[in-house]
Structure 1
Amino acid sequence: MNLQFLDVASPTVVLEDISYLQSILSLKWVKMRVVKDIHKLKKYLEQFDYLSYSKNKTHANDDDFDDLLESAIKTYQLNFHLNSNRALDTETVSKMMMPRYGVADIINGTRVNVVSPVAGAFQTWAANTYFRFSRIYNYRDTNITIGFQRRDHGDGNPFEDPGGTIAHAFAPTIGRFNYDADETWSVSARPGNMHLETIALHEIRHLLGLSHNSIENAIMYPSIAERTSKRLDRDDIE
């Protein structure tokens, strides 16, 4: 069986109305300055986790160029190796106007390369089963899609506060695998973090239509503690 998976991304996202970006080129940050349509930029930066108003919603939906937005623009510039001048200059705005994948670049404040650990998990299953997986970039042609989602994200299985359900996957023919974006994730097993590849190993088996088992050392044991790294157990593949 040959399954395909998207590059750890949800559908390509294109800003519906990008004309407002043209009007704010070269705008320097001025605290509390009101800028027409800047709330649209806030939504864009929130979508990709550069900006969060979860602790202070005062300016979440207004057009004030506040200090949180300034910080988010700088983080965006640093992530894309742009001049981190906190200004909406031509280079920064041009990058924002490009079509892109929908997965957040920043997860809980940390830049994370999620492709390598997830690809590693698929390779592990391929090495221990007859399944074969191919990485592709056309969302419409995928059998499996992978992403980070929050709360109620439309699949009937909403995530809750951190520490509950950390990820879920749906067996064929649905083929969706979602991490909870509100958890703290890492490519290594660190205190306070969930291990991306270990969780991927678990959820991929669900994607293949298989369920939990009661062997605590197995990857398919139904619960896992933070900082835990696992490989496949004999019970997972027999």
Structure 2
Amino acid sequence: MESHSPQTTSNLSVERHYKVTSAAYDIVEEIMNNIKTEFKNSIQYIKEVLIIFGATPYTPKEVFRISVPVLQEIHIEANHVKSMQKSQQKILRDLFLSPDWLKAMESNFPTTNMYVMLKKRQENCQKDDCLFTLISDYSIPSHSNCVTINLDYKNEPSHVCCSNLAVFNDSLNGSHKNPQISNKSIDSNEYWYQAKHYLKGFKDCYINKVSATELF
């Protein structure tokens, strides 16, 4: 029977963990690229984005709900990419330094999966070409911990629709008081679409009390 030295065993563990983390990185990158593609190419206005952490979308441990502002019909992204980058930095800074966000990040739950959904009006597409698939009659349990991020902008005659984006604190509205999210909305044609791929949770690997990610 072949035996392995502790060093060989450690190397094999690091190699396996590297494959797992690399696959996870590729999936996250693909999901993000698919979201960008949907916002760029979808003929329907995307109203909300859900990031769900849990064993399944129906048993979430934590839900991040992002309300997306309506873009003006004359919005042409290529005309003001540079100004958008500055706005994005400001939004992320305001968001990640907000007390509500910091409090939400204090929550601790076991390793689990991540799912992404988009809410928009129903549209027809070939099943093989769809990056997000329609989910019928989806609703999140009311007891789920839901963090709401409201993005909005001031509609001004200047038409610079990306310059006034801001993060609205949940305390300014009642959306955080009712975390239940359902397909049943004011517009009956709005549905949830789930990303074809999801991130499968995995535990960190430690070699001599050192995370394997530090040994890559």
Superposition TM-score, scaled by structure 2 size:
0.30
Superposition TM-score, scaled by structure 1 size:
0.28
Q: Relative to total residues, which structure has the larger strand share, 1 or 2?
A: 2
Higher relative contact order (CA 8 A, sep 6+): 2
Q: Relative to total residues, which structure has the larger helix share, 1 or 2?
A: 2
